[in-house]
Amino acid sequence: MNINSNTKLIGLLGQPVSQSFSPNIHNYLSQKYKKNNIYMCFEIDKNNLENAAQSIKTFNMKGCNVTIPYKVEIIQYLDKVDKNALLIGAVNTIKNVNNELVGYNTDGRGFIKSLTDEGYDLKNKKIIIIGAGGACRSIAVELANKEVFYIEIRNRSEENAKNICNLINSNFLSKANYDTNPVQENDLNNFDILINTTPIGMGSKDCPIDVNINPPKNLLVCDIVYKPHETALLSWAKNNNLNVVYGINMLINQGLLAYEIWENIKTSEDDLEEIKNVYFNSLK
């Protein structure tokens, strides 16, 4: 990578950001597509978030990603927000367009692409989602966009789950409901896809469901956690001969969509597998 006076800066705003794989994704893409960019992580204190957003304009940055815990709070400092990101209520990608900051959300779309890349048809499917945070919200909206039949959210507290269900039921043909009870064995018989959107399993052997559950044989199991690559949930699924979709696929796909927004280009179908190789090499 040749950094010079014309190099444009793209960044990640969040706290913490030290373990992020996003620089690997975007610096790889800039090198491959011969774009004179450099991608860096910025750990931002909450009191400095407004200043950080203004700095995108001040330094004429191409844009930024936004990660936890600022995906909602950043919206107030943007000039425009994409319709879907407004509906989701969170932004993970900012583009600097002639000194105007425009917000987008590629999380849910990245997850959906991870499924459709594997040939899964989502129309009329029944989905059970564990967790009711921002990731659940963006994924649920995009699932409803794909006309799934039913979404059930399992979360220990009611408020966030109820709000997401109201959002889906008010804006889409898909139906949504919630339950505050843990997932039980009989529950899974009614669903086609199980998705974990919580951080349970990140850097640990914890599992968001009881590993003694015997699932139905056609259940697809997805985890948005990408470290470790094979989480306890995915190990449980594979031990029960179920198909799985890994969290790294969503991470890379949302990154590819963000890069397309910044550069107005279409990335290659090969990019996912190429960047996964970069990811696996980084774990060695």
Q: What are the tokens at 279?
A: 């990811």
Report whether 64 contacts 12 (CB < 8 A): yes
Distance CA 239, CA 243 (A): 10
The residue type of 261 is I
For residue 191, what is the DSSP state?
-
**71 part of the active site:** yes
Distance CA 283, CA 99 (A): 38
Count the alpha carbons within 13 Å of 27 in the hemisphere toward its beta carbon. 17
Q: Is 137 helix (H, G, I), strand (E, B) or coil?
A: helix
For residue 102, what is the DSSP state?
E
What is the residue whose two structure tokens read 């400095």? 48
Count the alpha carbons within 13 Å of 163 in the hemisphere toward its beta carbon. 13
Report whether 54 contacts 284 (CB < 8 A): no
- The active-site residue, picked from 35, 62, 71, 113, is 71
The residue type of 103 is G
Residue 72 burial (CB count, 10 A): 15
- Give the chain's radius of gyration (CA, Å): 19
Report whether 222 contacts 195 (CB < 8 A): yes
The residue type of 212 is N
Residues labelled catalytic: 71
